């Protein structure tokens, strides 16, 4: 299974944060699953690091090596999909993440309750 992780999930993984649920932890630790970070979240991570709003200073390539995720470009079809999504979430980056998961057939890993309102698989 391909797991598309939300930005906070990456931060929690690196920090060993206990807010990861058992289901999330098990899915992320399963070697049969591929962990994917969207370019959307790579941008968000860099932006939050610049603002010093998260406790991670490592650049994306070091985090990629540490966690072992694949960095995925946003497919062009996600731009079409995002405009068709209902306006349930005020964060445009999270809406792009949902669209990315939907057009790529990936399961999202997120603790964001708003994301769970969309027709996408979420752990």
Please give the domain boundaries of the chain with CATH numbers for all domains: 2-117 (3.40.50.1010)
Q: In whole angstroms, what is the distance from residue 14 CA to residue 3 CA?
A: 16
Sheet harboring 2-5: ordered strands across? 70-72, 34-38, 2-5, 107-109
pLDDT at residue 90, rounded to an integer: 82
pLDDT at residue 36, rounded to an integer: 99
| SS3 readout for 36-104 | EEEHHHHHHHHHHHHCCCCCCCCCHHHHHHHHCCEEECCCHHHHHHHHHCCCCCCCHHHHHHHHHHHHH
Please, which residues bridge with residue 99 across strands?
A: none
Q: Which helix (H) or strand (E) holds 109?
A: strand 107-109
Backbone angles phi, psi at 4, to 5 degrees: -95, 115
pLDDT at residue 114, rounded to an integer: 94
pLDDT per 10-residue tile (average), the chain, 123 residues:
98 96 98 98 96 94 95 97 90 95 98 96 98
CA 67 to chain centre: 13
- Evaluate if pTM is beyond 0.85: yes
């Amino acid at each position: 299974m391909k797991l598309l992780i939300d930005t906070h999930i990456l931060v929690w993984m690196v920090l060993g944060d206990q807010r990861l649920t058992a289901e999330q932890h098990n899915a992320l630790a399963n070697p049969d699953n591929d962990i994917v970070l969207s370019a959307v979240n790579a941008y968000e991570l860099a932006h939050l690091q610049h603002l010093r709003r998260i406790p991670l200073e490592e650049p994306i390539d070091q985090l990629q090596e540490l966690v072992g995720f694949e960095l995925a470009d946003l497919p062009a079809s996600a731009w079409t999909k995002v405009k068709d999504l209902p306006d349930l979430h005020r964060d445009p980056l999270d809406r792009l993440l949902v669209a990315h998961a939907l057009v790529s057939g990936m399961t999202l890993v997120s603790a964001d309750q708003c994301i769970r309102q969309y027709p996408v698989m979420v752990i």
